[in-house]
Amino acid sequence: MSDRSAFPTTHATWLETILIDDRCMSDTQRADVANAAKHAHNAAKARLHVMERYAAPLEVFVKGSSLARLGEPAELVHGFFAARLSDANYLRAWPRSGMRFRRWLMNGMLFYGQGIARDRARAAARGATVAAEELDLRAGTASAAEEDFERAWALAVVREATARVEAALLDEGRADEFEIFRRHAIDGQPYAAFAGEVGRTPQQCAGATRLVAQRVRAVLAEVLREEGVPEAELDDEIARVRGVL
C-alpha cells in the first residue's frame, strides 16, 4: 500500500506532501536525473520552510529553558538545524509521530541538547557542566520556556498569514485597504485619526478592516493546515493562537 493512503488529501499538509512524494520515490527513480532533481528540490524546500518558520521560536525556547546553559541560543538552533536537517530521513519521521510539527521539532531540539551534554561529559571524562538528565524531555511539561515558544510560534504564523494577505491585496491593486487595516488593527490608530488621509469615512475604514481581518483569518487557517492541524481542530487552534499573543 502506498504511503499516500495514510494522508488523505483533506488532511495532508504542504510539508507532508513534499515528504510523501519524496518517500514514494524508489532508488531507481532517484537515480534518474529528473527525479533526482525533484528529490533535491523537495528536500531543500522542506529545509528552508522549517528554518524560516522555526528558527526564531526555537531560539526563544532555548533561551528560556535549561538548554541555555549549553551555549548561545542562535548557535544551538543553527547547530540543531545543521545536524538534523542534513539527514534526509529526519523530517520524514515526523508524520509517523502523530504530534504537532512544532511540538515534534521542539522535542527534537531537547534531544539534540541532551546529546551535546553527553558529548561534553565524555570529552571531559568527568561529568558535564550540564548533565544530560537535567534537560527536561517531557513533551507535556507546561514550562515557561514552552509557553514562550508557543507565543513566538504564534507570532510567526500570524505574521506569515498577514504578509500573504498584504501581498495578495497589493497584486489586486488594493494596497490602501491593507494600509487601513495596518494602521488600525496593528498600529492601534483610531479610524478618525486617518480616515480623511486615505479618502474614506471612519465607517468605510471599519468595513475595510473587517474584510482584511477575514482574509487574514482564512489565510491563517491555511498556514495552520501546513503545520499539520486537522480541519476539525482549526477553530480551536486559531483561538489558541489568539490567546497566546
Q: What average pLDDT score do residues 76-82 get?
A: 96
- Say if residue 150's pLDDT is above 60: yes
Dihedral through CA 187, CA 192, CA 197, CA 200, nearest 10?
A: 110
pLDDT of residue 95: 82
| Exposed/middle/buried for residue 124 (C-beta within 10 Å: 0-12, 13-18, 19+) | exposed
Three-state secondary structure of 71-102: CCHHHHHHHHHHHHHCCCCCHHHHHHHCCCHH
Q: How many CB atoms lie within 10 A of CB 79?
A: 15
**Residue bearing the bigger pLDDT, 41 or 98:** 98
| Tens digits of residue pLDDT in 189-221 | 999 999 999 999 999 999 999 999 999 999 999
pLDDT of 168 > 80? The answer is: yes
Residue 143 has pLDDT above 50, yes or no: yes
| pLDDT, the chain, mean | 82
Q: What is the pLDDT of residues 80-93, one digit of tens each?
A: 999 999 887 888 88
Which of the four pLDDT bands, split at 50, 70 and 90, describes residue 45? confident
- Average pLDDT estimate for 154-180: 96
Q: Where are the domains of the chain?
A: 3-20+31-140, 145-244
Task: Tell me the pTM.
Answer: 0.72
Q: Which residue has the higher pLDDT, 4 or 235?
A: 235
Range of lowest pLDDT (7-11, 49-53, 103-107, 151-155):
7-11
To the nearest 5 percent, what fractions of the chain are helix, strand and coil?
Answer: 75, 0, 25
Amino acid identity of 133?
Answer: E
At residue 42, the pLDDT reads 73
Identify the CA nearest to 222 among candidates 153, 158, 155: 158
